[in-house]
Amino acid sequence: MRRPLNMADGRREPPPYGRDRVRGSIGSNSPYDGGMGRGGGHPPTRGGYPPHGATYHTQERRPAWRNPSPGPSEGPPIPSTSAAVSTPAFSTNVHEPPPQPAASTSGLALARQHRPSGRGRRPLADTLRTRGPDAPSKHGTTGQQLLLQSNYFKLLKRVDWTLYHYQVEFVPTCPSPRLTQSLVNEHKKLLGGFVFDGVQLFTACKLSSDELVLHSQHDRTGDKYELHIQRVAVVDMTDETGLQVLNLILRRAMNGLNLQLVGRNLYDAAAKIPIREYHIELWPGYMTSIRQHENDVLVCCEIAHKTMRMQTCYDILRECQRHDRNFKDAFRRAVLGCVVLTGYNNKTYTIHDVTFETTPESTFDTKNGKISFLDYYKNKYNLRIRDAYQPMLLSRAKKKDTRSGDSELMALVPELCQMTGLTDSMRSDFKMMRAMADHTRLNPDRRIERLETFNRRLQTSPESQEVLKVWQMELDRRLVELPGRLLPQEMIFFSTTSNGVQAGENADWTAHFRDNPMFATVRLSRWYLVVPGRCQREAGDFLNCMITAARGMRFEISNCEMVPMPDDNPGTYIRTLDAIINKDPQMIMCVVSNNKSDRYTAIKKKCCVDRAIPTQVMVQKTITPKSGNVRTLMSVATKVVIQMNCKLGGVPWKVKIPLNGLMTIGFDVCHDSKDKSKSFGAMVATLDHDNRGTPKFFSTVSHHSNGEEISNYLPLNTVKALNEYRREFGELPKRIIFYRDGVSDGQLQYIYDHEVRSLVEKLGQIYKSAGIEQEVLLTFFIVNKRINTRFFDHRLNPRPGTVVDNVVTLPQRTDFYLVSQSVKQGTVSPTAYNVIYDTSGLKIDHLQMLSYKQCHLYYNWSGTTRVPAVCQYAHKLSFLVGQYLHQSPSNMLEKKLYFL
């Protein structure tokens, strides 16, 4: 599917069916001089049922950086190294063991709370149960029945064995996770099949006593340890703890495939795909998870790829030394914020700083005395560091590593750090991204083949089979088959009198714009075209194309006044805009020579923050005809005309929504690109009073700092939208549909406890004050597009409108999957919808069809989007503010889609 033009900045915008948010790469050699550089309650459910409430470490600590002059909170100064006095010192930073749990405390929470090492896993997410056994059916009936496959494998043997949960304490305390595992492994015969994570022990057979003391001995030092084992509970294999253990067992079985753990996922380094032309290689891998679904425990398996660059940090250092006079700053810019892989321990680190004062020749403290980095890596990993004078990279340790005793800052040698991920310049290289896509965008038949290969490897690996056999587990060799439905095609209406046109099998109605007007237009009579002098000819030709395209869609555009500029500096644009704004224009179009963000930021800040004027920014390349044929610009001109009409308050098309008095709200959050401690939450609401009328829009942005809860603003902004609805139509909406994007599974309980409850409370107050005593008809959706589930229709992509609400959904939720868009390359990604609050009284069929209808209303693209239009609008607005404005826009623009 061809991506829509983002006419607001002249670049292709990310596909409206989802944006892959990736870690940004910002950036930064020589040994000469240096520098461092709340509430409870339960959601209403569709039945009234209340809900129920391995990282690798060496025994010796990794080299750690310590500031020679710590602040008051950092403790006493650390002795300096054998280098100069001002050189930062290194220490193994051994921590005291944490307090041991009280004897009366028991349970999983205790074991997690008193974990003595950094091996502690993230807290298990509480399952927000929004559905009870007496709830109405969540399986819809509308549409054509389909038989689909999914990227799941069924666990053939039902997990009917009992899992016993024990807590293990070591006397004396053992600080090394590796050693604790080794000490427990000595008792394999006694324990049988077991999983151990440093404190918690899960066994398939009950031990001889609820309290047991075992004795182990360190095989190298001869130190003796006592293992105090106490039974905590019997685990239900369908709850979160049991499923976590199943995931650990599966991960252990996958060890037999000789995969490497990079981050959280396993990758096959032996099957890496080199793309030598661009000095990168792709590591294929797998993301797996086990979960109890509607009727069975299913294993989800998704294909993943890790991008590795064929260069180390040292290679980047040498490039900076060759090409930059101030190579130190250039090196910092190149590596700061990047993620690197250290092959000797197969771990990833984020680079937070660079120190030129410390080199591999510097020494750090160990329990056996001082040792240099050169000797440390030679003795421990048999690695010879070639350049003894290179600077050192500093990485802030993860919380789990600091809990295990590692220092806050880890010292890394550039020569041993392989770069991962892509830089911004790489991402903007279309040819390179196309070469990568040939390997990463797998069509359904190739994806199925890779999934079957994974299953076959797991079934034939002796080591994997041994693990599964011990735990009496057997995996089906076939992909899960499941029922689906294809919803009817939507009718697209271009006027109140037309019969409408079908959206088409691929849900793309672009061709119909040639023969139909837009649903509602606003006459454009006062507008200006700001253009650098050298772009005047291209701008004039494009302007003629726009007027021609607008005439065919019954959109009246008067000839604008062209304002030439002597240059394209940001300051020149600001001065020109100041002069034009005083003439009270309806709209200003600016042509820029390239994609540099400083001009775009200057224009948008002037017209979105300082003043409230809709703007259209075009890149010269976008309006330049191919091969000199002006007719090639008609497609671009049509999209621009549609977008300009929307920014003025017009509506290009509608779909039939048989609900009067409806307000649909979308919400998303984007982090500030300059200050990661800040973020901006954008809310966009569509106000539909009458199905035959023209919908109105309302948008608002809230600024959030660290520690501020979104729930503080979400009810207030919703009240603003309600007041706008009342001003427009003289009454409050009868029904509210809320789509909340950007929420992970682990945040569901928090979202309900804070955002939903405060929203319901505020809405109740508003409606009661208006004399409406009945409960507010509110449906609150969590929309999640970052999922690993995929569907296949006879080894092809499912068609737009495909709904799945059985087999792979979850029994404790009212949830469904919806494929709303068509793709021409790769495998289509469905979107997961989870109803966490619902008092609307609508059937599940109605909620599914309503969500699909909403995917037809994103006016930047004459086709369906992956998420409801209000979610995509909210994302577009939050992205504009977080990336470019860095402050809330003018309230004068809140009734227009100025951010398209």
The residues that are catalytic are 668, 741
- Residue 500, helix vs strand vs coil: coil
3-state secondary structure of 805: coil
Return the structure tokens found at 642. Answer: 């549609």
DSSP reduced 3-state for 318? helix
Which residues sit opposite 587 in a β-bridge?
527
Phi and psi angles of residue 18, each rounded to the nearest 5 degrees, phi first = 140, 145
Give the C-alpha distances (Å, rounded to integers) separating 837 from 37, 40, 178, 742, 781: 49, 14, 45, 17, 7
The Cα–Cα gap between 272 and 414 comes to 23
Task: Name residues whose C-beta falls within 8 Å of residue 653's C-beta, 6 or more positions apart in sequence.
Answer: 492, 493, 494, 509, 518, 519, 859, 862
Which CB contacts under 8 angstroms, 24+ apart, belong to 50-54?
50/132, 51/127, 51/128, 51/129, 51/130, 51/812, 52/127, 52/129, 53/126, 54/119, 54/177, 54/197, 54/251, 54/261
Question: Could you tell me the sign of the dihedral formed by the alpha carbons of 321, 324, 329, 335, in that order?
Answer: negative
Which 8-state DSSP code applies to residue 651? B
* SS3 letters across 449-470: HHHHHHHHHHHHCHHHHHHHHH
Give the sign of the dihedral formed by CA 241, CA 243, CA 246, CA 250: negative
Token output for 40:
């409870």
Q: Please, how many CA atoms are within 13 Å of residue 437, restricted to the half-sphere of its CB?
A: 11
Alpha-carbon distance of 358 to 31, in angstroms, equals 8
Single out the residue of 308, 256, 305 nearest to residue 284, CA to CA. 305
Cα(332)–Cα(393) distance, rounded to whole angstroms? 10
Cα–Cα distance measured from residue 666 to residue 683, given in angstroms and rounded to the nearest whole number: 6
Strands (E), 334-391: 339-342, 347-350, 353-355, 363-366, 369-372
Strand pairing category for 224-235 and 696-704: unpaired
Q: Across the chain, which distance is largest between two alpha carbons, in Å? A: 90
Half-sphere exposure of 419 (CA within 13 A, CB side): 22
Using DSSP, state whether 297 is helix, strand or coil.
Answer: strand
Residues 6+ apart with CB under 8 A from 429: 278
Per DSSP, the three-state class of 839 is: coil
Which of 790, 661, 782, 774 lies closest to 722 in space, CA to CA? 661
Q: Are 363 and 370 in contact (CB under 8 A)?
A: yes
Q: Report DSSP letters for 551-581, one per residue.
A: HHTT--BPPPEEEEES---HHHHHHHHHHHH
- Pairing of the two strands 211-217 and 224-235: antiparallel
CA atoms within 13 A on the CB side of 685: 26
Phi first, then psi, for residue 150 (nearest 5°) are -135, 165
- Residues 356, 391: Cα–Cα separation, whole Å: 4
Q: Contact 586/524 with Cβ under 8 angstroms?
A: yes
Q: Which of 185, 190, 188, 195 lies closest to 164 in space, CA to CA? A: 195
Decide if 318 contacts 346 (C-beta within 8 A).
no
